[in-house]
Amino acid sequence: MFYYVLKYVILGPLLRLVFRPRIEGLEHVPATGAAIVAGNHLSFSDHFLMPAILKRRITFLAKAEYFTGPGIKGRLTAFFFRSAGQIPVDRSGKEAGKAAIREGLGVLSKDELLGIYPEGTRSHDGRLYKGKVGVAVMALRAEVPVIPCAMIGTFEAQPPGRKIPKVHPVAIRFGEPLDFSRYAGMENEKAILRAITDEIMYAILTLSEQEYVDRYAADVKAEEAAEKAKSRKFPRLPQR
């Protein structure tokens, strides 16, 4: 109930007023039945903008940290995310991927829309990164189409580290549903899962027109953080 109050009375109108998003290809999102909406992830605002403009309810898999913060602020944040249709997923450890797939399949089994970011994390520099194969596994096991989606302008409106978004033109583009029924029963084939995921990421890339990086975003972030830590510990001496 609170989801619809948040969508139609509180958050939805506010987001539409502030961002005035331009919507393209909304007709590609099915009116009924299970489907996966797979999109790029540029900003914290992405979690709320897409649900605000879709007519149907959509459930996203979100990192567990949003639900485990300490104190009153942490509890309010957790309540807000749950009310907005987010499901917590622990991204650490070997079982993290299996847990995400299990939760996603649970949503799809109810003939609902599942939102997922194949990159696995927000882009820290506005580029599109290599997708993880969990989206392919779910598409094959649930036998559902995948609708590619591109968020455009949300990185500029609310880049990493910015708490309050600024007014900036935003567009949300949906592509034609991708049908992977030709790969039915092949969800354990690594090469097939990689091919499906790459096809999904290419569709997102075509919609978003981002620069593509054929590496996982989490790995690039970790390397850059390590380099920054190293430079702080061993600063370069000025050249004479």
Write the pLDDT tens digit of every residue in 91-124. Answer: 666 666 788 899 899 999 999 999 999 998 899 9
- Domain hosting residue 83, numbered range: 2-233
In one-letter notation, the amino acid at residue 196 is: I
pLDDT at 81: 73
**Whether the predicted pLDDT of 8 surpasses 80:** no
Is the Cα torsion angle 119, 121, 126, 127 positive or negative in sign?
negative
Environment class of residue 18 by beta-carbon count within 10 Å: exposed (0-12), middle (13-18) or buried (19+)? middle
Task: Give CA–CA dist 86/100, Å, rounded.
Answer: 12
What is the pLDDT, as a whole number, of residue 235? Answer: 67
Q: Which of 42, 204, 40, 201 minimizes the C-alpha distance to 125?
A: 42
**Residue 238 lies inside a defined structural domain of this protein:** no
CATH of the domain at 198: 3.40.1130.10
Is 239 within a domain?
Answer: no
Task: Reply yes or no on whether the pLDDT at 237 is more than 60.
Answer: no
Torsion of CA 168, 149, 30, 106, to 10 degrees: -110
Q: Is 240 domain-assigned? A: no
Predicted structure pTM score:
0.87
Q: Evaluate whether residue 105 is within a structural domain.
A: yes
Domain count, the chain: 1
Lowest mean pLDDT among 1-5, 16-20, 66-70, 147-151: 1-5
What confidence score (pLDDT) does residue 21 get? 87
